[in-house]
């Protein structure tokens, strides 16, 4: 929309030519300047500028829909009401059906907690026929750290859906729908996802998994401040890709230690003398999600996986439709399964903290986990 040509918007020829003469060809060029600046540049009166901008704006504006028609479209068009079931009953209930279409869902947690296992299971479910709660489509799995194991995926399939997998040729077909990409660099990855944009709809791709986003960016070795603009482009692109093609995009993220000078306070909080002030910088929660606060704003759903006193927990840390629930889980040969479908509600910012205590003994499930 922003690249719409001014020449085709039905403006008066005279003013259209003036715009073109000053190299203002697309709507983006025109709207990136203030009205005063345009007036100076084009040597045209304020009234004409306003008229021209009004026309350009009307042509470039996105269309209006009522929220009701949004809902009706969802019900009509989307399988399973626009959610990919995770087959974890408690989690699916909380998320109103599963991983939602059209938005970014993030899985964050310490190494070895089960993020890749979760992703592999999701990839498998998406490839299933609709009758078994799947999306009957292809899956693109971007495996940056070489954690994808086809043997493991088939094992999960056999153990969790034996009736499907024992059918002749099913395993081959299901596994055949999962396309694994191993980008060697960020540039490589960027190229691949740009290509994807066009081919997603044509090729029935129903899920995109990026495991992990952090690994892609950390390979670039640029100082912290430089990271933001790079990530910015990817964030916008992934979000628009998700929305445009109405597929779920699942991204995994790693953790890092909190810097000593990091804070979660505003300047006015020091002045407010509420009795409840407590510094959240306890030694327990010294881990935070990587990729920064901008990324944290951009994801729609954030699932935190952590380990506390030897117990693995999955928490719904950010979700516009769910209360902040935590579920204990464990990993079996059939993949991740919840130990209890009734989550405990965690009030407060604690839902965002990531623990890794008592965790080191749990890594190396099955030997081929990360």
Partner 1 sequence: MEAWRLPLSSSIRGKLISAGYTSLPSISSVSSSDLARDVNITEEEAFEILRLAKQSSGSSSCNGSRSLINGAKNAWDMLHEEDSLPRITTSCSDLDSILGGGISCRDVTEIGGVPGIGKTQIGIQLSVNVQIPRECGGLGGKAIYIDTEGSFMVERALQIAEACVEDMEEYTGYMHKHFQANQVQMKPKDILDNIFYFRVCSYTEQIALVNHLDKFISENKDVKVVIVDSITFHFRQDFDDLVQRTRVLSEMALKFMKLAKKFSLAVVLLNQVTTKYTEGSFQLALALGDSWSHSCTNRVILYWNGDERYAYIDKSPSLPSASASYTVTSRGLRNSSSSSKRVKMM
User: Which uninterrupted H or E stretch holds 218?
Assistant: helix 213-218
Considering the complex, what minimum distance in angstroms separates the CB of residue 357 from partner 1? 21
The residue to which tokens 């996105």 are assigned: 62
In sequence order, what are the residues at sequence separation of 6 or more whose Cβ sits closer than 8 angstroms to the Cβ of residue 21?
none
Distances (CA, A) of 90 to 135, 194, 341, 343: 20, 35, 4, 7
At 327 the three-state DSSP class reads strand
Establish if 262 lies at the interface with partner 1 (CB under 8 A): yes
In the list 186, 296, 334, 362, the residue contacting partner 1 (rule: CB under 8 A) is: 296
For partner 1, the closer of residues 267 and 282 by Cβ is 267
Q: Which of residues 266-285 bind partner 1 (CB under 8 A)?
A: 266-269, 271-272, 274, 276-278
With both helix axes pointing from N to C terminus, report the angle between 35-42 and 46-60 in degrees, rounded to the nearest 10.
120
Rounded to an integer, what distance in angstroms lies between the CA atom of residue 177 and that of residue 127? 6
Establish if 88 lies at the interface with partner 1 (CB under 8 A): no
In the list 340, 349, 357, 366, the residue contacting partner 1 (rule: CB under 8 A) is: 349
In sequence order, what are the residues at sequence separation of 6 or more whose Cβ sits closer than 8 angstroms to the Cβ of residue 267?
none
Rounded to an integer, what distance in angstroms lies between the CA atom of residue 212 and that of residue 207? 15
In the list 5, 12, 20, 54, the residue contacting partner 1 (rule: CB under 8 A) is: 54
Establish if 290 lies at the interface with partner 1 (CB under 8 A): no
Beta-ladder partners of 180: 141
In sequence order, what are the residues at sequence separation of 6 or more whose Cβ sits closer than 8 angstroms to the Cβ of residue 99?
83, 84, 86, 105, 122, 248, 250, 301
In the list 10, 35, 150, 194, the residue contacting partner 1 (rule: CB under 8 A) is: 35
For partner 1, the closer of residues 35 and 191 by Cβ is 35
Establish if 367 lies at the interface with partner 1 (CB under 8 A): no
Establish if 1 lies at the interface with partner 1 (CB under 8 A): yes
Q: Which of residues 309-328 bind partner 1 (CB under 8 A)?
A: 317-318, 320-321, 323
Q: Which of residues 329-348 bind partner 1 (CB under 8 A)?
A: 347-348
In the list 8, 163, 261, 361, the residue contacting partner 1 (rule: CB under 8 A) is: 261
Q: Which of residues 95-114 bind partner 1 (CB under 8 A)?
A: 96, 100, 102-103
Return the closest-CA partner of residue 55 out of 8, 2, 11.
11
In the list 15, 25, 39, 181, the residue contacting partner 1 (rule: CB under 8 A) is: 39
Considering the complex, what minimum distance in angstroms separates the CB of residue 98 from partner 1? 12
Considering the complex, what minimum distance in angstroms separates the CB of residue 20 from partner 1? 18
Tell the burial category of 130 from Cβ atoms under 10 Å away from its Cβ (0-12, 13-18, 19+): exposed
Q: Which of residues 67-86 bind partner 1 (CB under 8 A)?
A: 67-68, 70-71, 74
In the list 214, 252, 352, 353, the residue contacting partner 1 (rule: CB under 8 A) is: 352
Greatest alpha-carbon span in the chain: 76
The number of residues that bind partner 1 (CB under 8 A) is 84
Considering the complex, what minimum distance in angstroms separates the CB of residue 208 from partner 1? 15
Q: Which two tokens stand for residue 176?
A: 């055949």
Establish if 134 lies at the interface with partner 1 (CB under 8 A): no
Considering the complex, what minimum distance in angstroms separates the CB of residue 200 from partner 1? 17
Q: β-pairing, 301-308 with 104-108?
A: parallel
Q: Which two tokens stand for residue 101?
A: 């279409």
Q: Which of residues 197-256 bind partner 1 (CB under 8 A)?
A: 228-229, 232-233, 235-236, 239-240, 242-243
Establish if 57 lies at the interface with partner 1 (CB under 8 A): yes
Rounded to an integer, what distance in angstroms lies between the CA atom of residue 31 and that of residue 90? 47
In the list 6, 27, 213, 313, the residue contacting partner 1 (rule: CB under 8 A) is: 27
């Amino acid at each position: 929309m922003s690249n719409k040509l001014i020449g085709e918007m039905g403006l008066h020829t005279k003013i259209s030519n003036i715009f073109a003469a000053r190299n203002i060809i697309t709507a983006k060029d025109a709207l990136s300047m203030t009205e005063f600046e345009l007036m100076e540049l084009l040597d045209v009166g304020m009234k004409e500028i306003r008229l021209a901008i009004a026309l350009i704006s009307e042509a470039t504006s996105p269309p209006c829909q009522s929220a009701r028609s949004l809902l009706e479209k969802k019900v009509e068009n989307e399988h399973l009401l626009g959610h990919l079931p995770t087959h974890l009953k408690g989690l699916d209930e909380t998320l109103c059906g599963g991983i939602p279409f059209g938005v970014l869902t993030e899985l964050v947690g310490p190494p070895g907690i089960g993020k890749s296992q979760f992703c592999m299971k999701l990839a498998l479910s998406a490839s299933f026929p609709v009758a078994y709660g799947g999306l009957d489509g292809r899956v693109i799995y971007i495996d940056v750290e070489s954690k994808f194991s086809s043997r493991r995926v088939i094992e999960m399939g056999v153990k969790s859906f034996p009736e499907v997998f024992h059918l002749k040729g099913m395993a081959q077909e299901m596994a055949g729908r999962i396309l694994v990409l191993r980008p060697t660099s960020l540039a490589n990855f960027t190229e691949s996802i740009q290509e994807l944009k066009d081919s997603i709809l044509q090729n029935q791709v129903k899920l995109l998994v990026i495991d992990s986003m952090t690994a892609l960016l950390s390979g670039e070795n640029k100082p912290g401040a430089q990271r933001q603009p790079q990530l910015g482009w990817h964030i916008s692109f992934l979000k628009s890709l998700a929305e445009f093609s109405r597929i779920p995009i699942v991204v995994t993220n790693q953790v890092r230690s909190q810097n000593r000078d990091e804070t979660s306070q505003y300047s006015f909080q020091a002045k407010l003398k509420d009795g409840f002030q407590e510094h959240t910088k306890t030694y327990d929660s010294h881990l935070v999600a990587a990729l920064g606060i901008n990324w944290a704003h951009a994801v729609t759903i954030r699932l935190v996986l952590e380990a506390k006193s030897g117990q693995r927990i999955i928490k719904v840390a950010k979700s516009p439709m769910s209360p902040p629930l935590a579920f204990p889980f464990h990993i079996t040969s059939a993949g991740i399964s919840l130990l209890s479908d009734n989550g405990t509600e965690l009030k407060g910012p604690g839902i965002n903290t990531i623990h890794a205590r008592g965790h080191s003994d749990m890594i190396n499930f099955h030997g081929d986990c990360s």
